Amino acid sequence: MVAVAVSWGWFLGAVPLLCLAFWHAADAWYRAVFFLKHRSGKGANGIRPRLPPGHMGLPFLGETMSLLWYFKHVRRPDDFIGAKRRAYGGEKVGMYRTHLFGSPTIVACMPATNKFIFQAGSDTFGIHWPVPELVGLSSIVNVEGSNHTRVRGVILGAINRPSSLRTIAATVQPGVVAALNSWADMGTIVASNEAKKMFISMEPSSLTVKMDQWFTSLVAGLRAFPLDFPGTACHDARKCRRKLNTVFQAELEDRKNTNKKYDDVMSGFMELEDEQGKKLSDDEVVDNIVSVVVAGYESTASAIMWATYHLAKCPDVLAKLREENMMMSKRKGRSSFITHDDIPKMKYTTKVVEETIRMANIAPMTHRVAKRDVEYGGYTIPKGWQVLVLVRSLHTDPNYYEDPLTFNPDRWDEPAKPGTYQVFGGGNRICPGNMLARLQLTIMLHHLSIGYE
């Protein structure tokens, strides 16, 4: 009897102790490694370097399951960082240590901290993709330094200059009007699916349907755990990436063998030369064209889908939007096509666009990797650690936006507090498609509000 009681005692005491030890093992390990590395060193202020507060979670898994739980299961993504704030120092601390997607990680979530990371040079924070082949090895989102500047210049020229935006506005509008007509004919639509087709200039065919599926799987793979074996999202995404590369490679070959002039991003990439007159290789052209489509296509479609959702929920906003756009339409006459230069006059529509993008949080976080030990705010971000800039936590923070989860375009009567609106990132990787995304959304809202209930 005594022996049984002792065994139970051991068991009941040992199990919680083992669990506790298991829970703290990874954190203790990383702290020990950091301590040993810095035991004789002094930081910038003569203080011994220290890790940002936080916890590394379970061995190997880290806190990935917890992040996914908040983002995907309970659908309260802000509670992930909210829990950290409550546990480790409230509003004052702008970053936390954790372990996500297989890497030790610092999550940044304050305007000043995020800005510091965005604006530090690529020798301080580089690019980190768990599976670089998925985004393309020579794509803008993967390259750094002069290669990045070179490719970025082409993309900015093709989609961000006022002259390009004027051309794009004129080119895409007939397609938007036709798409809205077809929505009306269908009666009920799945906005997230239909919005994707709205700005694709390729003639619809069985190939474009397949490409749409391949792009969707590719994006799913980029967001999935980087496990690559048959049946995983990452494996599927790799296959889709190869198929997309083949399609664009064939398009590239066709263009090389014709005299026809194209005025689009792909031809921009094909014609680009560096100072030595060297052109981009075919692989570089294909990698970048796929990246631009991935970055622009899903994000804009998602913003359009959210705009239709909020307008359906907020009839008063729709009424004001309609009033402004009806007036614009009357001024424009029969075709009612707006131009890029009309946009500054569409004050209420612009507020609806900004509020939609703020609430949609389409890119909730961006990724970097620390290329050296980086000191900031009294803490050290260790070399080699992944850095996640969680921009969405700013856009849903009641300290920066009153009643942040309410769709209220009128909040944009005042500009956002400095540094609290980072939907398009910042620094030298700020989204080059930000004006295009706003333009596309404005065009769609104009035609939706003047033509349909």
Taking the C-alpha atoms of residue 4 and residue 19, their distance in angstroms, rounded to an integer, is 22
Instruction: Give the DSSP per-residue string, 49-81.
Output: P-PPSB---BTTTBTHHHHHIIIIIS--THHHH
Q: Kindly state whether residue 303 participates in binding ligand HEM, applying the rule CB under 6 A.
A: yes
Q: Does 215 bind ligand HEM (CB under 6 A)?
A: no
At closest approach, how far in Å is the CB of 26 from ligand HEM? Answer: 27
Residues in contact with ligand HEM, shown as a per-residue x/- string from 159 to 188 under the rule CB under 6 A:
x-----------------------------
The distance of closest approach from Cβ of residue 118 to ligand HEM in the complex, given in angstroms and rounded to an integer, is: 7
- Sign of dihedral through CA atoms 86, 88, 93, 94? negative
Q: How many CB atoms lie within 10 A of CB 142?
A: 21
Window of 107-115, 251-259, 327-335, 360-368 that interacts with ligand HEM by CB under 6 A? 360-368
234 annotated as belonging to a binding site for a ligand: no
SS3 string, 230-263, reads CCCHHHHHHHHHHHHHHHHHHHHHHHHCCCCCCC
> Which string of x and - marks every residue 93-132 that binds ligand HEM (by CB under 6 A)?
----------------------------------------
CA separation for the pair 158, 264 (Å, rounded): 7
Per rule CB under 6 A, is residue 363 in the interface with ligand HEM? Answer: yes
Determine the residue with CB nearest ligand HEM: 433
CA dihedral (114, 119, 121, 122) positive or negative: positive
* Residue 158 beta carbon to ligand HEM: minimum distance, rounded to whole angstroms: 9
Alpha-carbon gap, residue 70 to 82, rounded angstroms: 11
Among the listed ranges 202-210, 212-220, 292-300, 408-416, the one in contact with ligand HEM (CB under 6 A) is 292-300
| 282 CB burial (10 A radius; 0-12, 13-18, 19+) | middle
Nearer to ligand HEM, 263 or 323 (CB): 263
Q: Is 299 in the site for ligand HEM (CB under 6 A)?
A: yes
Sort residue 332 into left (φ over 0), alpha (ψ -120 to 50) or beta: alpha
The one segment of 21-29, 57-65, 87-95, 296-304 that binds ligand HEM by CB under 6 A: 296-304
Q: Please, what is the minimum distance in Å from the beta carbon of residue 417 to ligand HEM? A: 19
H or E stretch covering 404: none
Nearer residue to ligand HEM within complex by CB, 54 or 433: 433
The nearest distance, CB 306 to ligand HEM, in angstroms, is 9
Contacting residues for 236 by C-beta, under 8 A, at least 6 apart: 217, 220, 221
Residue 252 is a binding residue for ligand HEM (CB under 6 A): no
Tell me whether residue 104 or residue 136 sits nearer to ligand HEM (CB atom).
136
Instruction: Name the strand (E) or helix (H) holding 320.
Output: helix 315-332
Instruction: Please identify, using beta-carbon distances, which residue of 55 and 351 lies nearer to ligand HEM.
Output: 351
Residue list 410-449, contact with ligand HEM (CB under 6 A): 423-425, 429, 431-433, 436-437
Q: Which residue's structure tokens are 């064209």?
A: 289
In DSSP terms, 370 is beta-bridged to 125
Query: Taking CB under 6 A as the criterion, which residues in 130-159 touch ligand HEM?
Result: 140-141, 152, 155, 159
- Give the closest residue to 109 by CA, choosing from 407, 331, 364: 364
| Minimum separation from the CB atom of position 25 to ligand HEM (A) | 32
The Cα 413–Cα 408 span in angstroms is: 10
Instruction: Give the nearest distance from C-beta 91 to ligand HEM in angstroms.
Output: 23
Residues annotated within a binding site: 431
Give the residues lining the site for ligand HEM (CB under 6 A): 140-141, 152, 155, 159, 291-292, 295-296, 299-300, 303, 357, 362-363, 366, 423-425, 429, 431-433, 436-437
- Write out the binding residues for heme: 431
